[in-house]
Amino acid sequence: MPVPATVVVNAAGLGSRLGLERPKALLEVAGRPLIAWQLDLLRDVADVRVVLGYQAAEVADVVFAVRPEAMVVLNHDFASTGTAASLMRGAMGVRGRVVSLDCDLIVHPADLRLFIDAPEPVLGIVDVQSEEPVYVRVTEDGDGGLVARDFDRDYLPGDFEWSGLITFDPTSPHLGPRRGHVFELVRSLLPMRAAPIRAREVDYPEEVEPMGQWIDELVTRGYFS
């Protein structure tokens, strides 16, 4: 059984597409900040690191209220460096696998566990649901599984959307630029096993209500403490 991966929660961004002048981590959904729901799902993970930038002190207050032992990492250059830089700051010093988890993504606990325990790199994909998706080109591996071959901004029939969830080795010499988007950072690691997951994310105001419904469903099923 592999040692569970370190989870890096990327929570440094502005969340400007929501238009709330608050980071997405502090978005109130189903009565709690989004980051609080997410940390609840990570309660059994020993090494959780949350990368902060915009309104870092306010987000840190919520993080420590839910998870006092969590590590907080600051990306002071969050406005100019992008999520890839935040992720690599959070992964600094890790000698093993890292799960990259964006703070606006709530993953079904069973699916999230597969990524935390995965012994090899794996990419999380979902059916296309976002307004500005990053598509994933996939093929079958011959055993009923899927393999991610490339990312693209243009849709082709059969494409999935990248969820933003990935398990990878942060010490790999094949990683791409440490700035910009995470998919640009990990693109050179492809091909990689692709795993469909049950999840929702929030980028725009119209996605808040479906996220609340998704969290309510998980609460009803007893996945939150």
Digit-coded pLDDT (tens) for 74-107: 999 988 888 999 999 999 999 899 999 999 999 9
Q: Is residue 56 part of a domain?
A: yes
Q: Is residue 95 part of a domain?
A: yes
The pTM (predicted TM-score) of the whole model is 0.94
In terms of C-beta density within 10 A (0-12 exposed, 13-18 middle, 19 or more buried), how is residue 180 classed?
Answer: middle
Q: Is residue 38 part of a domain?
A: yes
Q: Is residue 39 part of a domain?
A: yes
Q: Is residue 225 part of a domain?
A: no
Q: Is residue 111 part of a domain?
A: yes
The residue segments making up the domain with residue 181 are 6-220
Alpha helices in 75-207 (DSSP H): 78-81, 83-90, 109-117, 182-186
- Per the structure, how many domains does the chain have? 1
Q: Is residue 207 part of a domain?
A: yes
The CATH number of residue 200's host domain is 3.90.550.10
**The token pair that represents 71 in the structure block:** 């590590």
Give the whole-angstrom CA distance, residue 25 versus residue 48.
15
Q: Is residue 1 part of a domain?
A: no
What percent of the chain has pLDDT above 90? 79
- Mean pLDDT is lowest, of 21-25, 98-102, 217-221, for 21-25
